[in-house]
Structure 1
């Protein structure tokens, strides 16, 4: 709730800048009504940005808490010098195989495969392949983070659904700024669907393309999805149910980019 103290500038949501906002509004406004309008617009913008920042911080704390509580990470030196494989183990009593995809949709033989592959997914987290690192270096990319490693299901490959779900509970890192979070929540003209943002993508084939990042309401949770033209990415890279993929994020000139890696089985 916004209080009188908030409007006076004492709230962290406005960073103590109420008087500055008022002075700037008076400097460009033609009358007091226009001053009120300009101030209202600016205050609401600051308030929404403040809430988006707090929500992002809460999500990050929950992710850190889950990783600290459930995950033990070990680094094992491989035969190659200076190369490491990340091995993630889950306590037996707390193994979590939650997916957005409903297992009831899968045939019996695919279910058995999925269980085995999903267990592998949780245990082994390979490093990014060197050819992708080279590609990112060519683009002068920075701030590289693994967003998610997951098994592909039939629902991820359906041309009718045309989307890749990125469940927040399986994310390894948050990858958007607060401004990008706000932009992601902007609605289309119908006022129902989110517009999403276009993000450049390095595909498993190392081909450069772009893809739409959106936020969907699935059940009680908001979930990131890679939307159109995801089905064309599936076709070009010959994805199959049971494949394991990694989605990495990085930045070029402060703009978000993705790299999609297919893990060799």
Structure 2
């Protein structure tokens, strides 16, 4: 039998029972839930007993169906005795359930606790979830030395981490031919004002951008904006699949953990360049 805590026979409210349980429990959450459950069940039993005692005309039978007015007859004497014995037996069973200390052994006491947990979960707001997610700290490994040396040999400077992500299927297929840079995951601003106007506002691609691959060889790619529903993403395209994905030395596979860095060649009009690190290769 499922006990509903929302129906209080004395006209009271579930909130009042909750407050009384909290006061009696004095901060003990398990005790509060047990006291609240017992109060709800006791009120339910009390109401059930009162209704059965008042049902002298047998409008509600033992099986719970309604007896029409025209078909009502007085029960024989032995039927009244059987009904009284059944009523007493049901009352004893409810009392045994209430007096059990272990909630795990009672279905009646388990159900209200389950309902309370569900209500508590529903009260968790999106703001709370966002705050909890913000507490998760992403580990950002430092750029490997061989990439630092390569950038230094190229005369690069102003190195910033653009994104850290795992490769998805669309990052590794010939049909898509692109390494995606979702704007929501960009960690540092790496574009200059003129580049933003050209790339973001006018939608013009930046051609022949040097990319240091995970195998530390350099290829040229295209940086392009792709419009999406109510948003956009940046992508490294053109030779991405042929030069980077197909190069087995890079080991670019679905799920590979990647870092994309941006840096500048000040001696060449502050030219934008990238370095792509496969963290799985670094740790091997």
> Is 1:262 matched up with 2:273?
no
Aligned equivalents of 2:277, 2:182: Cα separation in 1: 17
Deviations 1:98-133 (A, max 9, x none): xxxxxxxxxxxxxxxxxxxxx9xx622100000000
Aligned match of 1:178:
193
Q: SS of the residue aligned with 1:125?
A: coil
Q: How does 1:11-50 map to 2 (within 5 A)?
A: none
CA contact under 8 A between 1:185 and 1:196: conserved in structure 2? Answer: no
Deviations 1:184-232 (A, max 9, x none): 2586xxxxx7444321111100101111000111221121111111112
CA contact under 8 A between 1:155 and 1:161: conserved in structure 2? Answer: yes
Aligned equivalents of 2:275, 2:206: Cα separation in 1: 18
CA contact under 8 A between 2:211 and 2:274: conserved in structure 1? Answer: yes
> Is 1:222 matched up with 2:222?
no
Aligned equivalents of 1:262, 1:205: Cα separation in 2: 9
Q: SS of the residue aligned with 1:123?
A: coil
CA contact under 8 A between 1:203 and 1:261: conserved in structure 2? Answer: yes
Deviations 1:73-114 (A, max 9, x none): xxxxxxxxxxxxxxxxx9772269xxxxxxxxxxxxxxxxxx
Aligned equivalents of 2:140, 2:205: Cα separation in 1: 32
Can you give the 5+ residue segments of structure 2 that lack an aligned partner in the other structure? 1-126
CA contact under 8 A between 2:198 and 2:204: conserved in structure 1? Answer: no
> Is 1:129 matched up with 2:144?
yes
Aligned equivalents of 1:94, 1:196: Cα separation in 2: 35
Q: SS of the residue aligned with 2:180?
A: strand
Aligned equivalents of 1:207, 1:152: Cα separation in 2: 20
Aligned length: 148
CA contact under 8 A between 1:200 and 1:210: conserved in structure 2? Answer: yes
Aligned equivalents of 1:209, 1:252: Cα separation in 2: 16
Q: How does 1:200-219 map to 2 (within 5 A)?
A: 200-219=210-229
CA shift, 1:182, in A, is 2.1
| CA RMSD of superposed structures (Å) | 2.5
Can you give the 5+ residue segments of structure 1 that lack an aligned partner in the other structure? 1-69, 71-89, 97-118, 188-192
CA contact under 8 A between 1:186 and 1:196: conserved in structure 2? Answer: no
Aligned match of 2:69:
none
Aligned match of 1:234:
245
Q: How does 1:43-122 map to 2 (within 5 A)?
A: 93-94=132-133
CA shift, 1:144, in A, is 0.3
Q: Which has the larger radius of gyration?
A: 2
Deviations 1:208-257 (A, max 9, x none): 11110001112211211111111121111231111000000000021111
Q: SS of the residue aligned with 1:175?
A: coil
> If each structure's strand is expressed as a fraction of its own residues, which one has the higher value?
1
> If each structure's helix is expressed as a fraction of its own residues, which one has the higher value?
2
Aligned equivalents of 1:212, 1:246: Cα separation in 2: 18
Aligned match of 1:158:
173
Aligned equivalents of 2:131, 2:235: Cα separation in 1: 30
Q: TM-score, normalised by structure 2?
A: 0.48
